[in-house]
Amino acid sequence: MKNAILIKGKEKQPLNKHSYIFSGAVEKIDSDIAPGEVVCVRTHEGKFIAYGHYNPTSGIVIRLLEWNENKHVNESWFREKILSSIALRKSLFDSKDTDSFRLIFSEGDFLPGLIVDKFADTLVLQSHTSGMDKEKSAIVKILTEEIASITCIYEKSDGDGRKMEGLSNSAGVLFGIMPDKVMIRENGIKYKIDITSQKTGFYADQRNNRALLKKYIKKDDSVLDLFSFTGGFGLTTALNGAGEITLCDSSAEAIAAAKVNFRLNGLDDPEAAEKDCFDYIRELHREKRQFDIIILDPPKLMPKKNDAIKAMRAYKDLNFNTMRLVKKGGIMFTFSCSGNFTPEMFKEMIAYSAKDSGRTVQILEQLHQASDHPVSVSVPETEYLKGLVLRVL
Ligand code: SAH
């Protein structure tokens, strides 16, 4: 096996089981290593640290996989990791209520670069590294052998991560027959999802937060669901006694999908604005409209670490303008899915938004990604979704 030797002093993080080796940390590396090949990472003195996937094109030149020198990264290694992921999900969900979840969450499940979402009997696989690209057929084989009910595995490898790895997008059926749409259940609510749409087709990371929302709904409450996508938050309120529901999303497909989901659960169509939320919240303010409950769940507004000022402005713009739309004593669920935007920055931004909107705001609960998106204690980057339940006076 080829070796990579780290610069003296750069061994601390990898020895603490953080997965990333940045190119600047490598002193010497053997030649002729193919992208995606497993290499052995050693300290300056030549002591074994871990095995990892190599990619010369990426800023993260090696992603560490295994810290036990006697264990080799082969099919049985992948099987062990995948079985552990499956076992966790088995313990988390009652399939009567929820048949869809993230089955493998990259570093959070000790498989850096691999994401697999399970939607009923369909799996959507995303590979974000050349290492995982190379292992794809072994992974598909293991998944089909270990989960008997699977009828399709669809690959949807895209996004900024692949760009940074120098990889082009890859999509298509890896196993079975591709369904037109997939019917799923989450928290007892039915959804029809399109796995070829945004991301893998559904945001399972908000499951617990959607369930928690039930507790805050009073009969006939008015609700505004901003960045509504497939409508999960709005739908939860509608099924639990809320009155008028308004959705907003800039994607026509998302609005259409949300309406289908309302009908699927025996509800009438909600009011739905196919608009830019940044504009729409200003429009609602001019119309003097206010709501009892507002959900604000924007896409990632801080994709890079050095985007802090821009991100602070964007989150503040959204939260400040949304706070003005909450009725006195009303509730706001506000989120950031940018891992780079820290919980401290998030709360600071909320404090500024409260001050500038002239509202008095209390934090009632602090929210996180659901447990099928486990956080690796050694890789803090795996903690990305944060949310606050606010009471706005
Ligand atoms: N709340 C959703 C997930 C939101 S994902 C859920 O529970 O499933 C982010 C959504 O924001 C996507 O549907 C995307 O279409 C939408 N979006 C992105 N930028 C937008 C903008 N500027 N205005 C309105 N919607 C936007």
Q: How many CA atoms lie within 13 A of 130 on its CB side?
A: 22
Return the minimum-mean-pLDDT range out of 7-11, 114-118, 194-198, 246-250.
194-198
What pLDDT does 280 receive? Answer: 98
Q: How many CA atoms lie within 13 A of 114 on its CB side?
A: 27
Mean pLDDT along residues 356-363: 97
Give the residue, by CA position, lying nearest to ligand 1 atom 12.
229
Residue ranges around ligand 1 (CB below 6 Å): 198, 203, 206, 227-230, 232-233, 249-251, 254, 276-278, 297, 299
Q: How far is CA 146 from CA 23, 73, 140, 143, 179, in A?
A: 36, 19, 10, 5, 21
Q: How far is CA 73 from CA 130, 138, 140, 362, 364, in A?
A: 15, 12, 16, 49, 45
pLDDT category at 304 given cuts 50, 70, 90 is confident
Joined tokens for residue 293: 């409950």
Give the residue, by CA position, lying nearest to ligand 1 atom 23.
276
Q: Are 106 and 115 in contact (CB under 8 A)?
A: yes
What pLDDT does 334 receive? Answer: 98
What pLDDT does 325 receive? Answer: 98
Q: How far apart are CA 40 and CA 66, in angstroms?
A: 10
Residue among 232, 218, 352 nearest 292 (CA)? 218
What pLDDT does 128 receive? Answer: 96
Q: Point out the ligand 1 atom lying closest to the alpha carbon of residue 335.
A: 1
What pLDDT does 199 receive? Answer: 79
- 238 and 355 in a single domain? The answer is yes
pLDDT tens digits, 17-27? 999 999 999 99
- 13 and 40 in a single domain? The answer is yes
Give the residue, by CA position, lying nearest to ligand 1 atom 11.
227
DSSP-derived pairing of the beta strands 170-176 and 182-186: unpaired
Q: Which stretches does DSSP call E strand in the chain?
A: 3-6, 20-22, 26-29, 38-42, 48-54, 60-66, 100-105, 114-119, 122-127, 152-157, 170-176, 182-186, 189-193, 223-226, 245-248, 271-273, 291-296, 326-336, 361-368, 386-392
How close is the Cα of 230 to the center of ligand 1, in Å?
9
- 54 and 80 in a single domain? The answer is no
Task: Indicate whether 195 belongs to any domain.
Answer: no
What pLDDT does 159 receive? Answer: 86
pLDDT category at 350 given cuts 50, 70, 90 is very high
What pLDDT does 61 receive? Answer: 96
Q: How far apart are CA 339 and CA 303, in angstroms?
A: 8
pLDDT tens digits, 319-333? 999 999 999 999 999
- 123 and 41 in a single domain? The answer is no
Task: Indicate whether 242 belongs to any domain.
Answer: yes
How close is the Cα of 226 to the center of ligand 1, in Å?
7
- Give me the catalytic one of 40, 152, 277, 337: 337
Amino acid letter, 310:
K
Q: How far apart are CA 152 and CA 175, in angstroms?
A: 5
**CATH number (domain holding residue 50):** 2.30.130.10
Q: How far apart are CA 214 and CA 218, in angstroms?
A: 9
Assess whether pLDDT exceeds 90 at residue 151. Answer: yes
Q: Point out the ligand 1 atom lying closest to the alpha carbon of residue 230.
A: 8
Q: Which stretches does DSSP call E strand in 35-181?
A: 38-42, 48-54, 60-66, 100-105, 114-119, 122-127, 152-157, 170-176
How close is the Cα of 371 to the center of ligand 1, in Å?
22
DSSP-derived pairing of the beta strands 114-119 and 100-105: antiparallel
- 79 and 61 in a single domain? The answer is no
- 263 and 287 in a single domain? The answer is yes
Residue among 336, 391, 382 nearest 363 (CA)? 391
- Which value, in Å, is the radius of gyration of the alpha carbons in the chain? 22
Joined tokens for residue 127: 């590979």
Task: Indicate whether 198 belongs to any domain.
Answer: no
Indicate the top mutation candidate among 186, 227, 235 to test ligand 1's pocket, ranked by most ligand atoms within 8 A of CB.
Answer: 227
Task: Indicate whether 126 belongs to any domain.
Answer: yes
- 37 and 101 in a single domain? The answer is no
How close is the Cα of 350 to the center of ligand 1, in Å?
20
How close is the Cα of 306 to the center of ligand 1, in Å?
23
How close is the Cα of 22 to the center of ligand 1, in Å?
32
Indicate the top mutation candidate among 184, 192, 229 to test ligand 1's pocket, ranked by most ligand atoms within 8 A of CB.
Answer: 229
Mean pLDDT along residues 69-78: 97
In the three-class reduction of DSSP (H, G, I as helix; E, B as strand; rest coil), residue 332 is classed as: strand
Domain final residue, candidates 45, 66, 87: 66
What pLDDT does 157 receive? Answer: 96
pLDDT category at 11 given cuts 50, 70, 90 is very high
Task: Indicate whether 311 belongs to any domain.
Answer: yes
**CATH number (domain holding residue 379):** 3.40.50.150
- 212 and 328 in a single domain? The answer is yes
Mean pLDDT over the full length of the chain: 97
What does DSSP assign to residue 202?
S
How close is the Cα of 91 to the center of ligand 1, in Å?
30
In the three-class reduction of DSSP (H, G, I as helix; E, B as strand; rest coil), residue 365 is classed as: strand
How close is the Cα of 272 to the center of ligand 1, in Å?
13
Q: Point out the ligand 1 atom lying closest to the alpha carbon of residue 232.
A: 7
Beta-carbon count within 10 A of 135 CB: 24
Q: Point out the ligand 1 atom lying closest to the alpha carbon of residue 299.
A: 9
Per cent of the chain over pLDDT 70 is 100
Task: Indicate whether 197 belongs to any domain.
Answer: no
Q: Are 352 and 77 in contact (CB under 8 A)?
A: no
Q: How far apart are CA 98 and CA 185, in angstroms?
A: 5
Residue 248 annotated to the active site? no
pLDDT category at 164 given cuts 50, 70, 90 is confident
Mean pLDDT along residues 206-212: 98
pLDDT tens digits, 233-277? 999 999 999 999 999 999 999 999 999 999 999 999 999 999 999
- 105 and 213 in a single domain? The answer is no
What pLDDT does 375 receive? Answer: 97
Domain range for residue 146?
A: 75-183
- Listed in sequence order, the DSSP H helices in 28-101 are 75-92
- 275 and 298 in a single domain? The answer is yes
**CATH number (domain holding residue 163):** 3.30.750.80
pLDDT category at 114 given cuts 50, 70, 90 is very high
- 90 and 49 in a single domain? The answer is no
User: 273 forms bridges with which residues in the sheet?
Assistant: 248
Split into its structural domains, the chain has a count of: 3
- 226 and 103 in a single domain? The answer is no
The CA dihedral of 281, 287, 288, 292, to the nearest 10 degrees, is -60
pLDDT category at 368 given cuts 50, 70, 90 is very high
- For residue 186, the Cα-to-chain-centroid distance in whole angstroms is 16
Domain final residue, candidates 66, 95, 120: 66
Q: Point out the ligand 1 atom lying closest to the alpha carbon of residue 229.
A: 13
Task: Indicate whether 193 belongs to any domain.
Answer: no
Joined tokens for residue 239: 């099924």
Task: Indicate whether 189 belongs to any domain.
Answer: no
Give the residue, by CA position, lying nearest to ligand 1 atom 18.
299
Indicate the top mutation candidate among 205, 249, 274 to test ligand 1's pocket, ranked by most ligand atoms within 8 A of CB.
Answer: 249
Q: Point out the ligand 1 atom lying closest to the alpha carbon of residue 206.
A: 7
Please tell me the total number of residues recorded for the chain in this structure: 393
Indicate the top mutation candidate among 187, 250, 295, 322 to test ligand 1's pocket, ranked by most ligand atoms within 8 A of CB.
Answer: 250
Joined tokens for residue 204: 């399972």
Assess whether pLDDT exceeds 90 at residue 160. Answer: no
